């Protein structure tokens, strides 16, 4: 197979590698009290969802959607107040996590071309968005 026919998911090392990336990302979040304060007390459910999501997003099996439906990421983030600085920190910690896992420079470039706009799309601080699950009429988990 030519390298370009191999999915990003396979190039980074598959499910185990995605799991390690998400664990590393959350370690960075936990080490930063300001970023940590945005997240709920129990980090485990979110961690598992992020693993499933990234597996799917990188071209692996669509297990996230199988379990939780369409990602609708911006809506799912409404309960959490996210400003530009938080988006910047999210991107920094994700880049560090992927670098620690040995994701190659050209893959990092491709990934962050997409994740940059996506992270800024998640910014909702100061916006009149429904913060509670009941207001959104949807299941969050």
Positions touching ligand HEM (CB under 6 A) are 38-40, 45-46, 49-50, 53, 68, 71, 73, 76-77, 80, 82, 86-87, 90, 115, 118-119, 122, 140-141
- Dist. CA 103–CA 18, nearest whole Å: 10
- Dist. CA 64–CA 70, nearest whole Å: 8
Q: In whole angstroms, how close is the CB of 27 to ligand HEM at the nearest point?
A: 15
- Dist. CA 127–CA 41, nearest whole Å: 24
Q: In whole angstroms, how close is the CB of 19 to ligand HEM at the nearest point?
A: 14
How far is C-alpha 46 from the geometric centre of its chain's CA atoms?
Answer: 9
**Dihedral, CA atoms, 89, 95, 99, 102, nearest 10 degrees?**
140
**Nearer Cβ to ligand HEM, position 11 or 75?**
75
Q: In whole angstroms, how close is the CB of 2 to ligand HEM at the nearest point?
A: 27
Q: In whole angstroms, how close is the CB of 57 to ligand HEM at the nearest point?
A: 6
Main-chain dihedrals φ then ψ at residue 139, nearest 5 degrees: -80, 130
* CB distance 27 to 35 below 8 Å: no
**Nearer Cβ to ligand HEM, position 2 or 12?**
12
**Nearer Cβ to ligand HEM, position 45 or 62?**
45
């Amino acid at each position: 197979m030519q390298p370009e026919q191999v999915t990003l998911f396979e190039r980074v090392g598959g499910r185990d590698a995605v799991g390690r990336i998400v664990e590393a990302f959350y370690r960075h979040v936990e080490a930063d009290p300001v970023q940590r304060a945005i997240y709920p007390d129990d980090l485990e459910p979110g961690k598992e969802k992020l693993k499933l999501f990234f597996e799917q997003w990188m071209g692996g099996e669509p297990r996230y959607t199988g379990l939780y439906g369409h990602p609708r990421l911006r809506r799912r983030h409404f309960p959490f107040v996210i400003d530009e600085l938080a988006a910047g920190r999210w991107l920094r910690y994700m880049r560090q996590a992927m670098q620690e896992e040995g994701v190659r420079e050209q893959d990092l470039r491709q990934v962050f071309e997409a994740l940059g706009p996506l992270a800024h799309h998640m910014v909702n601080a100061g916006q009149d968005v429904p913060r509670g699950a009941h207001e959104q009429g949807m299941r969050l988990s």
